[in-house]
Amino acid sequence: MKHLTHLNYINVVAKIGSIRQAAEQLNITSTALNRRILALEDELGHPIFERLPQGVRLNVAGELLIQHIRASMADLSKVTSQIADLSGVRRGHVTIAGGGEIIGTFLPSLIASYRRSHDGVSFEILRRAADECLSALQDFTCDIGIVFGPVAPSDYQILATIELDVQAMFHHSHPLASKAEIRLADCLDYPVTLPTDNSGLRDILHHAQAKRGLKLPHIISSDSYEFMSHYCLHENAITFCLPLQEGGARPLDRELATRPFVKRDRMTGLLHIVQAKGRVLPVAAAKFAEEIVQYLSHSFPDDIT
């Protein structure tokens, strides 16, 4: 499998875009790494990187090669996991990509619970916008995608879909905390923080404002949901979230409150658990995908398909 180690060097350089920085991560000298790249290019009879003033970038030949490399690494991970399963010891590495509105909610407790039974499994969690998440599935950068937004079932294998209602979040002393449900118009009297434009949640909020002829007093955009929720501790502001905490809709912080919207102002989106179509996941990833689906089925039995 030594050849796969060398191919992984190419994968790391492609991801980082710098031979020097990749060499530091791989703990080899940049000269040695560059020599291996040149040797591979000589063997292929074609360069795979464009040399730029500030780094390197895959050319067309390199893009073809990187797909082969990532597919080979994914296949090896699957076989290694299956072999480990034969001995009754589940090992492996699971990579999950999801939006910022998702990855900090139920995943930490679910991963911790899984690792209590399978402590040989490691995880990598990537924060990605919906389109980036789907691209990561296609190029084998991740095993499982959690996407809040549209997914074409013809291009991806959807393991589960759940309908979620957007909720408002604010400090527990906020004037709106006295209400059991709120109107979207209630938010017009307070500063609002919104997710960045490449978010499925932002798209839903845009559509809801346009439909009702409203414009929320938007003061801050961020791709950090932790930042937006904790900003509400320092100003009488409102942000928005999904009811994904373990046990259902629960605030991310003891000092924060969440409230649903009234039925006529309900804002709903679809959350998809996705994998690449036609790909057989490594055992560890497949089993954890089952854990996610079971968690969502238990937490939202009336909303999952």
- Integer CA distances (angstroms), 211 to 202, 215, 296, in order: 14, 11, 30
What percentage of the chain carries pLDDT values higher than 90?
A: 43
Other CB atoms within a 10 A radius of the CB of residue 264 amount to 8
Specify the pLDDT at position 247: 42
* Per-residue pLDDT tens over the stretch 172-231: 999 999 999 999 999 999 999 999 877 889 999 999 999 999 999 999 999 888 899 899
Res 4 pLDDT > 90: no
Q: How far apart are CA 164 and CA 268, in angstroms?
A: 6
pLDDT, position 68: 84
Class of the 167-266 domain? alpha beta
- The reply to whether domains 2-63 and 90-163+270-299 share a CATH topology is no
Cα torsion 115, 118, 120, 121: sign: negative
Question: What is the pTM for the complete model shown?
Answer: 0.70
pLDDT tens digits, 234-286: 999 999 999 886 544 444 557 899 999 999 999 999 999 999 988 888 888 88
CATH level 3 topology of 2-63? Arc Repressor Mutant, subunit A (1.10.10)
Instruction: Please tell me the predicted confidence (pLDDT) of residue 70.
Output: 83
Mean pLDDT of the chain: 86
Both structure tokens of 62: 């390199």
54 pLDDT tier (thresholds 50, 70, 90): confident
The percent of residues in the chain predicted with pLDDT above 70, rounded, is 92
To which CATH superfamily is domain 90-163+270-299 assigned?
Periplasmic binding protein-like II (3.40.190.10)
pLDDT score at 250: 45
Q: Count other C-beta atoms under 10 Å from residue 149's C-beta.
A: 20
- DSSP letter at 252? S
User: For residue 257, which of 175, 189, 185 has the smallest C-alpha distance?
Assistant: 175
What is the pLDDT at residue 236? 93
* Residue 238 structure tokens: 């409102």
Q: Residue 165: pLDDT above 90?
A: yes
> What distance in Å separates the CA atoms of residue 295 and residue 305, rounded to the nearest whole number?
13
Closest CA relative to residue 276, chosen from 151, 146, 144, 161: 144
- How many CB atoms sit inside 10 A of residue 143's CB? 28
Both structure tokens of 227: 């930042």
pLDDT tens sequence across 64-96: 888 888 887 777 777 776 666 655 446 788 999
Q: What does the alpha-carbon distance between residue 118 and residue 261 come to, in Å, rounded to a whole number? A: 40
- For the chain, domain boundaries: 2-63, 90-163+270-299, 167-266
Backbone angles phi, psi at 72, to 5 degrees: -65, -40
CA end-to-end span of the chain, whole Å? Answer: 41
Predicted local distance difference test score (pLDDT) of residue 84: 65
